[in-house]
Amino acid sequence: MNNLRFRIFISIIILLVVGLAAITILFNYGLDRYFSDYQMQEEAANINRLERQLIDIYDNEGEEAVYDHIEQFARINQLEYIADPGNGHMDHHDMMDNRRMSSGGGRRMMQLFEEADLSQGYHIIINERDFGVLIWPERDGQPAIYSEIAEQTANFRNEINRFILPLGMVLVFAGGLISFWLSRKLAMPVNKLADEVGKLGEGNYEIEVPEKLSGELRSLGLAIKSLAGRLKYLEKIRRESAADFSHELRTPLHNLKSTVEALEDGILELNAENLESINEEVDRITNLTGQLTELVELEKKLTDVNIETVDGNEYFNELLNFYVKKAENEEINYNYEVFAGLDRISLDRQAVEIILNNLITNAFKYTEAGGRVDVRVNLIDDNLRLEVEDTGIGIPEEEKDLIFERFYRTDRSRSRETGGSGLGLAITREIVAALGGDIFLEDSDKGSNFVVMLPQ
């Protein structure tokens, strides 16, 4: 898990470095773009102010004062000024530029400046009078203003980067400390969980979830603990089932072997009675192996759920009617009732058949001749309710929590006579759970009353 801690630490550092690099690149790109635009707008505003001043000078002091002011502006800003001593009239292109300038106010004039080809100079026009051209000196084959703006932008960017670089290093260092602490904090509970999971490989199913765990890690820990409990249960069942089936097989095999040896030694005669005894023991062995095959088939259903919409009234009446003949043969008073409102319900046909078959045949086994078995099917609070009640031997209060365990039998001697192995209720509970439902015992005056609730 130290490897996990190292990976978390390195991942956070890489994210910090990549994030800072991306921010720096984007910042420099935006700075180049917007700072250059800002300086151009400032230059345009400067020209705009000049033209407003020239209008006032022209109105108050005349043309000569305008020329003088432009020359002074050119000297201060290191520009070249070429006065146009022509007749004072503008051509068509100049007239259009003037209309755009005079009708749009300061913002229009700034846009005109930004759109102007400064390599040809910038015309100054006052009241339809052309006062010449301001020309920026060239540098590197273009007007110096562009080079100056680029240079100022680069200087400003470098100043910012000189500030960003140490700041970034400080942030990476601080992030490294935080990531070291965070990776340790994240890895420690994972290490503890890994240690607990390691116990499973050693056959120790006593998993402890650290109390300090929270959120998803606690959910994971509880899930692992639940899995450990399930594995412990399955291991217990594996051992008990092996012992149980070994015991169940030992008796008929011993009886069969004894009978065959007695026949070989001449102690018993080879007659119909002894052959019938052998046949009974073979039947018992065949029945046990059949139960093992049935167990495998039933467990397949736990992962093979097929929900469909059916007509519940037709389905349950046909299904429950199947047990009428069996009840008559065993002299049991069997009744079933399918309530109205089940015309469209969602269920797994095969799973429901297995559930009802296990409960009904179990009720028949533990109900004496002349007893009663009632089956009721109803829809209550968006749940399909299956109820199987009998007047059989019942279940003692202290055993009600155990009847759903595999190979548990309330009456072991009678179960052997009827072929029961203690698997029916355990498999039924697991199938019900796979369907998202619940199975439980309700109080009954005599016998047992099993209830299954399946969500709709």
Q: Tell me whether residue 411 is in a domain.
A: yes
Q: Tell me whether residue 251 is in a domain.
A: no
What is the per-residue pLDDT for 95?
Answer: 36
142-143 and 138-139 as β-strands: parallel, antiparallel, unpaired?
antiparallel
What is the model's pTM? 0.44
pLDDT tens digit sequence for 353-379: 989 999 999 899 889 999 999 999 999
Residue from 378, 395, 394 nearest 386 by CA: 378
The pLDDT confidence band at residue 321, using thresholds 50, 70 and 90, is very high
Higher pLDDT, 408 or 285: 285
Domain span including residue 44:
2-146
Which of 104-118, 363-377, 442-456 is the least confident region?
104-118
- C-alpha span between 20 and 169 (Å, rounded): 10
pLDDT tens digit sequence for 250-270: 778 888 888 888 888 888 888
pLDDT tens digit sequence for 69-96: 999 998 888 888 888 644 443 343 443 3
How many domains does the structure of the chain reveal?
2
pLDDT tens digit sequence for 161-214: 888 778 878 888 888 888 788 777 777 777 777 777 777 777 777 777 776 666
Residue from 382, 309, 313 nearest 342 by CA: 313
- C-alpha span between 455 and 379 (Å, rounded): 10
Q: Tell me whether residue 207 is in a domain.
A: no
Q: Tell me whether residue 357 is in a domain.
A: yes
Higher pLDDT, 323 or 98: 323
Alpha carbon separation from 3 to 97, 189, 217, 371, 453 (Å, rounded): 72, 14, 19, 68, 48
Q: Tell me whether residue 31 is in a domain.
A: yes
CATH number at residue 442: 3.30.565.10
Among 95, 114, 146, residue at a domain's last position = 146
Residue from 91, 94, 97, 70 nearest 82 by CA: 70
Residue 324 has pLDDT above 60, yes or no: yes
Q: Tell me whether residue 288 is in a domain.
A: no
- C-alpha span between 351 and 306 (Å, rounded): 9
Q: Tell me whether residue 294 is in a domain.
A: no
308-310 and 333-338 as β-strands: parallel, antiparallel, unpaired?
unpaired
Residue from 422, 408, 427, 407 nearest 301 by CA: 427
What is the per-residue pLDDT for 303?
Answer: 56
Q: Tell me whether residue 317 is in a domain.
A: yes
Among 146, 171, 197, residue at a domain's last position = 146
Among 115, 146, 177, residue at a domain's last position = 146
